[in-house]
Amino acid sequence: MLVLGIESSCDETAAAVVRNGKEILSSVVASQIPFHEKYGGVVPEIASRKHLETMTPVIREALGTAGIPLHDIQGIAVTQGPGLVGSLLVGISVAKAIAYVCGLPMIGVNHLEGHISAVILENSVPEFPFIALVVSGGHTSLYEVKEWGRYRLLGATRDDAAGEAFDKVAKLLNLGYPGGGVIDRLSREGRADAFPFPRALNTKYSFDFSFSGLKTAVLNHLISRPSPPQRDEIPDIVASFQEAVVDVLVEKTFRAAESLDYHSIVVSGGVAANSRLRKKMQERGDREGIAILIPPSSLCTDNAAMIAAAGNHYLEKGCTSPLSLNALSRWPL
Ligand code: KG4
Ligand code: ZN
């Protein structure tokens, strides 16, 4: 089955053509970062306007690169939520228009299910059941996955998402937006044990996360210094912050796997592009005999191939959404 995936939940306009939910024929991502950067975060109104301008060229490029004419596409998968409603509506409207004109089945996809499904695009299929950690700019959630479509939420952040914490700490240090990639790079030159930042809720009894206290701890550290940190002092600060985030993510994810006696862990979402998180997950997986599956970094951050992969699970079973499909700003998985 050839599926056209469409993603516009936040600040990436993306389209992809994926064969049988696995093989990426094309994946085009147009980032809006340059338009939001100066505001230090995503401005919803700008996001929806940019999606509107970019969506058609991006879809055209995805079809062109794949070498697949629109009339050969067999289904459309579009992000229905969670996300910014104005942005989601752009993707949904174009998906509906194509589905109606070409008489194609269409399915609305949960963005978080998309992140988890990214793993099947390049990796081998994980063995069910498995634990999934979705860690992005808007979410930090742990799931038990029995099969595609059957998810049980084990825990989630009570305040900031991990990616949000990266972005806020980067903002405190004037490192630009988004902060994850730059903190990842700078941390390689820093000492991860330079500052003992807190590991919140790191108890046996909870699979929930909390990152706002950590962000405040970094702020308090900056305030308590006699002078702002020099350029060469920043790597130690961000490496210590990153280590605190990674430690908690790794610890809780493995604890979830141990408590359910599962032997596969999938990690995805933008923060799963983090090199330290990938390394520590892999090392512990090797030690404990647990398979760790993390999509390549380009498939961890928002893209439409993952939406096509998730939609394929449903479309191949004949499940479709009606043309009355609406955007959902919140949609728990
Ligand atoms: O999944 P995503 O592209 O969008 C959402 O669904 O939120 O995730 C974006 C988030 C941002 O907060 C960004 O700072 C973070 O992922 N991120 C990273 C890295 N690359 C992106 N965080 C840590 N390390 C990275 N290398
Ligand atoms: Zn995402």
163-214 per-position pLDDT tens digit: 999 999 999 999 999 999 999 999 999 999 999 999 988 777 899 999 999 9
Determine the pLDDT at residue 123.
65
Q: Mean pLDDT, to the nearest integer, of 5-30?
A: 97
Q: Does residue 327 form part of some domain?
A: no
User: What distance in angstroms lies between residue 323's CA and the mean position of ligand 2's atoms?
Assistant: 24
Spell out which residues line ligand 1, taking CB within 6 angstroms.
10, 136-138, 163, 166-167, 178-181, 184, 269-271, 273-274, 301-302
| Residue in the block written with tokens 């970019």 | 54
Q: What is the pLDDT of residue 329?
A: 97
Cα separation of 309 and 294, whole Å? Answer: 15
How many Å lie between the centroid of ligand 2 and the Cα of residue 302? 5
218-254: b or e for each residue (b if 16 or more CB lie within 10 Å)? beebeeeeeeeeeeeebbbbbbbbbbbbbbbbbebbb
| Judgement on whether residues 106 and 225 belong to the same structural domain of the protein | no
Residues 150 and 59 in one domain: no
Question: Are both 107 and 160 inside the same structural domain?
Answer: no
Whether the pLDDT of residue 122 is over 80: the answer is: no
Residues 311 and 172 in one domain: no
Q: Tell me, yes or no, whether 38 and 135 share the same domain.
A: no
Same domain membership, residue 196 and residue 273 = yes
Nearest Cα to Cα of residue 246 among 291, 172, 187: 187
Residue 275 CA to residue 302 CA, distance in Å, equals: 17
- Mutation test residue for ligand 1: of 134, 301, 331, the one with most atoms within 8 Å of CB: 301
Whether 326 is in a domain gets the answer no
Residue written as token pair 């700019």:
137
Output the pLDDT for position 201.
Answer: 80
pLDDT of residue 202: 77
Tell the residue nearest (CA) to atom 14 of ligand 1: 180
Q: Are 273 and 180 in contact (CB under 8 A)?
A: yes
Residues 125-135, buried b or exposed e (16+ Cβ, 10 A)? Answer: ebeebbbbbbb
Q: Which ligand is nearest to the CA of 299?
A: 1
CA of 103 to the centre of ligand 1 (A): 36
Residue 54 has pLDDT above 70, yes or no: yes
What single letter denotes the amino acid at residue 197?
Answer: F
Residues 311, 265: one domain? no
- Give the count of alpha carbons within 13 A of 205, CB side only: 0
Helices then strands, counting H and E runs in the chain, come out as 12, 10
What does pTM read for this prediction? 0.96
Q: Judge contact between 13 and 35, C-beta under 8 A.
A: no
Residues 89, 220 within the same domain: no
What is the number of structural domains in the chain? 2
- 93 lies in the same domain as 235: no
| CATH of residue 264 | 3.30.420.40
Instruction: Tell me what percent of the residues of the chain surpass a pLDDT of 90.
Output: 95
Give the pLDDT confidence score for residue 159 in this predicted structure.
Answer: 97
In a domain, 276, yes or no: yes
Regarding whether 144 and 91 lie in a shared domain, the answer is: no
Residues 262 and 306 in one domain: no
Does a structural domain hold residue 285? yes
Do residues 106 and 168 share a domain? no
Q: Which domain holds residue 113?
A: 2-117+302-315
